[in-house]
Amino acid sequence: MTKVTSIVVGAGLAGLSAAYSLARDSIDVLVVERGDYPGAKNITGGRMYFLPIRSLFPELWDEAPWERHIVREVLTGVSKCSSLSIEFSNQKYNNKPYHSFTILGSRFNKWFAQKVAEKGARVINKYKVDDLILDNGKVKGIVVGGAQIEADVVIAADGTMSQIAEKAGLRGKREPQDFALGVKEVIALSPQTIEGRFRLKADEGIAQLFVGSLTKGMLGAGFLYTNRDCISLGLVLGIKDLTDCHLNVMPYELLEEFKLRPEIVPLINGGESVEYSAHVLSESGIKGMPKLFGDGILVAGDAAGMAMNMGLTVRGMEFAIASGALAAEAVRMAKKQNDFSAGALSKYQDLLKESFVWKDLNTFRHAPDVLANPRLFGEYPQLACTMMEKLMTVGEEPKKKLSTTISKELRSRLALSLLRDSFRFWRM
């Protein structure tokens, strides 16, 4: 039977990072990806925070296909016919090393896989890993379309729904509220058009988040990221709300409505849709993590639930890259002792706990509960818009004093819950 030292299932950021690290240490590694090419199935919103991962592969980042570095953040609350935006820009975001970048999975992962192959790893596309070779609960390799390949260790980097972690018995039952659904469209526009419409210089980009009536009160948000020659536009929606919802709306319908909003139309006008995708995200943070190691197996990236909605940001990419690299480090240590048992591989968890991955996920462990609050996605954006409308509009009647307008709005609506929710958000 064919045997290799290590197998990585999935050529997403987690898998590629693991494979790159292994190959760099001259450890025999086979990457199996079911997509036509690495990147074909990797859906992301699009923003990666650079500083946490900068030191991992310094030799790579200068030539990485970053789209644009983010220089402006916009948070927009929307109601049915109005919207209120808060814009934050920071001169520092224009200094190197850049704080965050937009990326496109289809470009970034393709490039990353090439680097992985150049380091000597074998990357095989278009094959799906169907099963694990198990011997008394110990993982001994993989099964692909009936063919078996043995390995000392398998790294499951197969994304949110990880069947590999499940087959290895590392993951328990999960609930709808642990997941969100992302739907996303990539709209092509020339770089000049993008720079003109968003007031950007070459290479600069913006990140914009939308909350409010666009999700019809469901947990979720809209996002817009500028790439080099296209815009990523999408929605993330809580699956529990989507399935419970009496509204009975389809995610793609919401995306269509989002695209028709007057805030969006002029931004995407004339653009061509070049990608349409949907993908599940893990929303439960550290509480939803599976067991991260077993005999002959490690779990990294989304497969290990290492993605999270932290209120104003969705994060997963840096966690995927860092956990992949740490999994590889654990394999390197295990190989030295030639011991791939759960005991030896548990080093992975120790390494993770010392890293930003665990620390961030732990700090934000309450975020899912705080965010599972319909007021954040319905009443508050509505309130903000109504208040602005009253403040800004001059009608036929004499205008009331500002303090009267504000206090009336606040008294009439939700004052106590707003205070309470603000406090919870603050503590998150």
Partner 1 sequence: MRIVVCAKQVVDLAQIRMNRETREPILSGIPLIIGDIEKNVLEEATRIKEQHKAEVIALSIGWPQPDGTILECLGRGADRAVMLADPIFETLSSTGVATVLAKAIEKIGDYALILLGEGSTDNNSGQVGPMVAQILGLPLVSYARQLEIVEDKVRIVKGLEDCFETAEASLPVVVTVSAEINEPRIPTILDVMEASSKPQESWSLGDIEISREELEQHHSVKVLSNQYPEQTRKNILFQEELGKSVDSLLQNLVKEGVLER
Ligand X SMILES: Cc1cc2nc3c(=O)[nH]c(=O)nc-3n(C[C@H](O)[C@H](O)[C@H](O)COP(=O)(O)OP(=O)(O)OC[C@H]3O[C@@H](n4cnc5c(N)ncnc54)[C@H](O)[C@@H]3O)c2cc1C
List residues binding ligand X (CB under 6 A): 9-15, 32-35, 41-48, 128-129, 157-159, 163, 182, 184, 234, 236, 279, 281, 301-303, 307, 314-317, 320
CB of 127 to partner 1, least distance (A): 5
* 275 or 409: CB nearest ligand X: 275
How far apart CA 419 and CA 423 sit, in angstroms, is: 6
Q: Is 146 in the site for partner 1 (CB under 8 A)?
A: yes
Which of 51, 86, 250, 274 forms a contact with partner 1 (CB under 8 A)? 274
Specify the amino acid at residue 117: A
Residue closest to ligand X, measured at CB:
316
Which of 30, 231, 239, 314 forms a contact with partner 1 (CB under 8 A)? 30
Q: Is 51 in the site for partner 1 (CB under 8 A)?
A: no
122 contact choice in partner 1, ligand X, none (CB below 5 to 8 Å, kind-dependent) = partner 1
DSSP state of 81: S
Decide if 298 contacts 313 (C-beta within 8 A): no
Q: Which of 81, 138, 137 is nearest to 257 (CA)?
A: 81
Q: Is 187 in the site for partner 1 (CB under 8 A)?
A: no
Which of 61, 127, 356, 425 forms a contact with partner 1 (CB under 8 A)? 127
How many CB atoms lie under 10 A from the CB of residue 371?
A: 21
Q: Is 272 in the site for partner 1 (CB under 8 A)?
A: yes
Decide if 228 contacts 67 (C-beta within 8 A): yes
Residue 279: C-alpha distances to residues 16, 101, 237, 243, 397 (Å): 19, 21, 11, 16, 50
CB of 17 to ligand X, least distance (A): 8
Q: Is 144 in the site for partner 1 (CB under 8 A)?
A: yes
Q: If you search the block for the tokens 């931004």, which residue do you land on? A: 267
Q: Is 155 in the site for partner 1 (CB under 8 A)?
A: no
How far apart CA 45 and CA 35 sit, in angstroms, is: 19
Q: Is 393 exposed, middle or buried (0-12, 13-18, 19+ CB in 10 A)?
A: exposed
Binding span for partner 1 by CB under 8 A among 143-151, 153-161, 216-224, 329-337 = 143-151
What is the torsion angle, in degrees rounded to the nearest 10, for the CA atoms of residue 111, residue 31, residue 349 and residue 347?
-120
Q: Is 343 exposed, middle or buried (0-12, 13-18, 19+ CB in 10 A)?
A: exposed
How far apart CA 98 and CA 94 sit, in angstroms, is: 7
CB of 101 to partner 1, least distance (A): 20
* 144 or 292: CB nearest partner 1: 144
CB of 38 to partner 1, least distance (A): 12
Which of 93, 94, 120, 122 forms a contact with partner 1 (CB under 8 A)? 122
* 82 or 208: CB nearest ligand X: 208
CB of 320 to partner 1, least distance (A): 24
| Rg for the chain, CA atoms, rounded | 23
CB of 316 to ligand X, least distance (A): 2
Q: Is 265 in the site for partner 1 (CB under 8 A)?
A: no
CB of 262 to ligand X, least distance (A): 24
How far apart CA 211 and CA 213 sit, in angstroms, is: 7
272 contact choice in ligand X, partner 1, none (CB below 5 to 8 Å, kind-dependent) = partner 1
CB of 199 to partner 1, least distance (A): 24
The residues, ordered by sequence, that sit 6+ positions from 339 with a Cβ below 8 Å of its Cβ are: none
- The binding site for partner 1 (CB under 8 A) comprises 2, 30, 32, 37, 122, 124, 127, 144-147, 149, 272, 274
